[in-house]
């Protein structure tokens, strides 16, 4: 299970694999595009969590990508 973190601002979103020192992708133009790409990368790595950070760096949202294990499946009404 591999987790990915999505952060940044409009036109400069970036994706980083958890535990990595370097970003996997940078300068993604929209948050929607970055989230879709992060989920695809996570799926290709065997599933896990995509954690979306707000502008201040705190985790704003997270989404489990199959076959990852969602710790709270009934409470996730966003995805």
* Structural domain contains residue 78: no
The pLDDT of residue 67 is 78
pTM of the predicted model as reported, rounded to 2 decimal places:
0.83
* Structural domain contains residue 36: yes
| pLDDT one-digit tens code per residue, 34-51 | 999 999 999 999 999 999
* Structural domain contains residue 75: no
| Residue 62, both tokens | 């997270």
* Structural domain contains residue 65: yes
Q: How many domains does the chain have?
A: 1
Q: 43 is in which domain, residue-wise? A: 4-70
């Amino acid at each position: 299970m591999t987790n990915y973190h999505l952060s940044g601002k409009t036109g400069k979103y970036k994706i980083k694999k958890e535990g990595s020192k370097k970003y996997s992708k940078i300068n993604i133009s929209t948050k929607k595009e970055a989230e879709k790409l992060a989920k695809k990368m996570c799926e290709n790595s065997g599933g896990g969590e995509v954690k979306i950070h707000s502008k201040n760096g705190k985790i704003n949202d997270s989404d489990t990508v199959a076959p990852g294990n969602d710790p709270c499946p009934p409470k996730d009404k966003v995805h």
